[in-house]
Chains A and B, each alone.
Chain A
Amino acid sequence: MNQDAYNAYSHKTSSDQLVEVAKIAAPYKNRPEMLMSVVIQVQRKVRALSEDVAAVIAREMGIPQTNVYSFITFYAMLSVKPRGKYIIRMCESAPCHVRGAKEIVRALEKMLNIKMGETTEDGRFTLEYCPCLGICDISPAIMINHETYGNLTPGSVTQLIKRYIREDV
């Protein structure tokens, strides 16, 4: 494996967490149709669907690790790489676009000092684009983990992120 690939996939999950992963996956041996459900549950417990996690899921469910990996990399909300505690998803679809989404992006990037797609060094925030959040009556909108926020302005989004930084949520 070359160095870049190594760095990208080097995240290791603790053995305690791997035991938890195994517990989630084990009831679904030879039931590949449960992969989505398993992966979503697992992702709530671990920082990344890393190689060791995929190996445990593969072993417990009886499917090739390649399939687990291939599945994860298909879906935008699943990640093989570690992401922040708070994943800020910025809608980049047209209804938000025409209501000034790019100014929100600029405010977020400035506030957190990272670019879209990146995670803050302290591992707390990840900025991601996502397609329409389905709350176009309040565009431009974002979703932070499972919470949605709309009618944002550069000013209001900055205030919002401050609340998250202070853990006032």
Chain B
Amino acid sequence: MVTIHIDGQELQVKKGITILEAARSANIKIPTLCYHEDQKIKSVCRICLVEIEGQRLLQAACSYPVSEGMVIKTASPKVIKARRNVLELILARHPQDCLNCPKNGFCELQDLTQELHMKRPIRYQRDIRPHQVDESSTSIVRDPTKCILCTRCIEACEDGQTIGVIGKENRGFDTIVVPPYGKDMNETVCVNCGQCVQVCPVGALTIKDDTDKIYENLDSGKILVAQVAPSVRTTIAEALGEAPGTPSAGRLVTAMKLLGFHYVFDADFSADLTIMEEGYELLDRIKNGGVLPMITSCCPAWVKFCETYNPKYVKHLSTAKSPQQMFGPVIKTYFAEKHKIDPANICSISIMPCTAKKFECQREEMNDSGYQDVDISLTVQELANMIREAGINYADLPETPFDDPFGLGSGAGEIFAATGGVMEAALRTVYEVVTGKTLEKLDFHDVRGLDNLKEAEVDLNGTIVRVAVVHGLGNAREIMRKVRAGTANYHFIEVMACPGGCIGGGGNPIRNWKKVKARTESVYQQDRDLPVRKSHETDAIKTIYKEFLGEPLSDKAHHLLHTSYCNRQDLLR
């Protein structure tokens, strides 16, 4: 412990922590911009400057460690002036079109100008780079004119996801963050995970906005049929200003009905359906000497990653489609027939925590219903914008149940939202199918939590099934190294591209680890509160197999609910 003085307050703090951490522990707020609590210290924006007694230079609080006897001023006139001057330099290169920026109201730079009470005019020639906005990606819009070069996105993509789609080009005043060699985003190895969007403090990286398409379809008289992914009910309230982890399935359905959606279905149903197909596929592979380990394919960012970096190993991917892509054809066939609606007249919409789902629904394999199976995939952020736009007072809405015939899904479907959830859901079903016994303890704690690699073993009537769970593509790359080397001694691996699983997905409200933890707890609580917690036991699953699909892995199921993968290695050339 060392004794320091911050703004006249004497503090005892741990040796070696930064001035910023020390100040926060004393409730002293130092403004920051490039700093992100889940990332490495960057110390480049030079906003969090403080004055240290005895030093001529101002120091960045985010990186400067405290030492015994240090006397710090966080808001002296010298500091305030320097911060404003630095902010002025940032603003001089920024377009400042805040009023029509997608980040309006959620922008850290905007917040900072308020905090620093920046009211004087910019003294420099406004030098806005003439870069073009890159809208080539299905999922992410890149506007380099707004970039403040904090490099958070580079870290998220390169260190976190080990991909490195974007990086710095040139140096000095000409530095920008771009894909290499003038490529557009859709020409790169980008897997559309949206982790860059999650960390961008400004409007340089935002989610491709598809909300206009919803209005157009409403206007043209289409029947809007929506499926709502498991994590959405946990994060939509947060996106509308409530505490992270506030579940709001009932209010969400009400809001969507107010927005004009005709049917709002629970995608826990299709998660359950995925478990049926994927679970039986696993058993089939184990029994009949199929390719093992089998790896989950629910995550479209992970699937593209595998197709790009490990094209020879796509045979390890489960052929079962993701819940989104299972629900798509089910809506345009089974549901359309049942309700005597012309599938051509259906606009099938998914509400997702995910930016990569926009890419997935546009894959050419995804037309098994005879139409594009899912027409539009919206993220939580976009839906929240629509709710705000419509003036809906979300906090006070009454609750509405999800529509039939799919009703309420199981707790197993619900936990798809968190890393390890697909695995746990599968184990709940596979165990009972194989052993014929009722699973006593439904919670598989070994596969929960935020460890990089989680492993478990389950005894299925004498056959020991070994499973592994990874989240984040860095961890996925690691486990694929083992798969290639033949040392991945597992039967089944769950991979989710985003840290924490879908609950940490790129389409959710801006997050940090604290929020992801709160959301995850909420997910498991909702699982515990659901009446049915195993996929194979819900009425909707029983009914659809009885009325329509026959049994898992049937011809019809294969046609509608399974898919194939391609080789994208060329993206690396």
Determine the distance from Cα of A73 to Cα of B174 in the docked complex, in whole angstroms: 10
Q: With an 8 A cutoff between CB atoms, is B179 at the interface?
A: yes
**Do A51 and B181 touch across chains, with their CB atoms under 8 A apart?**
yes
For the complex, is B165 an interface residue (Cβ under 8 Å from A)?
yes
From B164, B182, B187, B572, residue with most partner A Cβ within 10 Å: B182
Question: B169 in the interface, Cβ–Cβ < 8 Å?
Answer: yes
Candidate in A6, A54, A64, A70 with the most chain B CB atoms within 10 angstroms: A70
- A80 in complex: contacting residue of B164, B165, B181, CB < 8 Å: B181
Contacts of A50 in B (CB 8 A): 181
Chain A residues within an 8 Å CB radius of B170:
73-74
Residues of chain B with a CB closer than 8 A to A59's CB:
572
Report the Cα distance A69→B164, complex, angstroms.
11
Size of interface on B: residues with Cβ below 8 Å to A:
20
Q: Contact at A70–B573, with CB atoms within 8 Å? A: no
Nearest CB to that of A70 among chain B residues?
A: B167
Q: Is B166 an interface residue (CB 8 A)?
A: yes
Task: Report the separation of the CA atoms of residues A69 and B163 in the bound assembly, to the nearest whole angstrom.
Answer: 14
The answer on a CB contact under 8 Å between A1 and B180 is: no
In the complex the two chains form, is B164's CB within 8 Å of A65's CB? yes
Complex Cα distance, B187 from A6, in Å, reads 12
A70 x B169 contact (CB < 8 A): yes
**Given A6-B182, A54-B180: A65 and B169 interface contact (C-beta under 8 Å):** no
The answer on a CB contact under 8 Å between A64 and B163 is yes
CB-CB under 8 A from A142, the residues of chain B are none
* Binary CB contact string for chain B from 84 to 117 against chain A (1 if under 8 A, 0 otherwise): 0000000000000000000000000000000000
Known contacts A64-B158, A64-B163; A70 and B180 CB within 8 A of each other: yes
How far, in whole Å, are A72 and B196 apart by their CA atoms in the complex? 23
* A2–B181 alpha-carbon span in the complex (Å): 12
Partner of A67, one of B132, B164, B171, B183: B164
- Distance, CA A65 to CA B167, complexed state (A): 10
Rounded to whole Å, the gap between the CB of B173 and the closest CB of chain A is 14
User: Does residue A55 face the partner (Cβ distance < 8 Å to B)?
Assistant: yes
B168 on interface, CB distance cutoff 8 Å = yes
Q: In the assembled complex, how far is the CB of residue B168 from the closest CB belonging to chain A, in whole angstroms?
A: 5
Task: Assess the B572–A5 pair: CB atoms within 8 A.
Answer: no
Contact A1 to B184, CB < 8 A, known contacts A65-B164, A65-B572: yes
Kindly state the separation between the CA atoms of A52 and B181 in the bound complex, as whole angstroms.
Answer: 10
The reply on A159 being an interface residue by CB < 8 A is no
Contact present for A5 and B182 (CB under 8 Å): yes
| CB pair B181 A64 closer than 8 Å | no
* Number of cross-chain contacts by CB at 8 Å: 56
Given that A66-B158, A73-B169, A73-B170 are known contacts, is A1 also in contact with B164, CB under 8 Å in the complex?
no
Q: How far is the CB of A112 from chain B (nearest CB, A)?
A: 25
Contact status B166-A66, CB under 8 Å: yes
With A9-B182, A64-B158, A66-B180: A55-B163 Cβ-Cβ less than 8 Å? no
Contact at B158–A67, with CB atoms within 8 Å? Answer: yes
Among the listed A6, A8, A69, A80, which residue makes an inter-chain contact with B167, where contact means beta carbons less than 8 Å apart?
A: A69
Does the CB pair A2–B180 fall under 8 Å?
no
* B48 CB to nearest A CB, Å: 26
Interface set, chain B 147-171, CB cutoff 8 A to A: 158, 163-171
Residues of B within 8 A of A65 (CB): 164, 180, 572
A58's nearest neighbour on chain B, judged by CB, is: B572
B573 touches A52 (CB 8 A): yes
Contact for B180 among A6, A8, A69, A74, CB less than 8 A: A69
Assembly CA distance A65 to B189 (angstroms):
10
Distance in angstroms from B193 CB to nearest chain A CB is: 15
Once A1-B187, A67-B158, A74-B171 are accepted as A-B contacts, the answer to whether A54 and B181 lie under 8 Å apart by CB is: yes
Question: For A8, what are the chain B residues with a Cβ–Cβ distance below 8 Å?
Answer: 182
How distant is A8 from chain B, measured CB to nearest CB, in Å? Answer: 6
Assembly CA distance A74 to B175 (angstroms):
9
Known: A1-B187, A74-B171. A9 touches B181 (CB 8 A): yes
Q: Are B158 and A2 in contact (CB under 8 A)?
A: no
Best-buried of A51, A64, A80 by chain B (most CB within 10 Å): A64
From B176, which residue of chain A is reached at the shortest CB distance? Answer: A73
A142 to chain B, nearest CB (A): 23
Residues of B near A9 (CB, < 8 A) are: 181-182
Query: In the complex, which residues 29-72 of chain A have their Cβ closer than 8 Å to any Cβ of chain B?
Result: 50-52, 54-55, 58-59, 64-70
A68 and chain B: residue at smallest CB distance: B180
A65 to B179, CA, bound (A): 9
Q: Contact check: which of A2, A51, A64 meets B132 at CB < 8 Å?
A: A2
Extra pairs beyond A2-B132, A9-B181, A64-B158 (9, CB < 8 Å) = A1-B183, A55-B572, A65-B164, A66-B164, A66-B165, A66-B180, A69-B181, A74-B168, A74-B171
A-B contact pairs, 8 of them (CB 8 A): A6-B182, A66-B166, A66-B167, A66-B179, A67-B167, A70-B180, A73-B171, A74-B171
Please name the 4 residue pairs, one residue from A and one from B, whose CB atoms are nearest each other, closest first: A64-B164, A5-B182, A69-B180, A66-B167
List residues of chain B with CB under 8 Å of any chain A CB: 132, 158, 163-171, 179-184, 187, 572-573
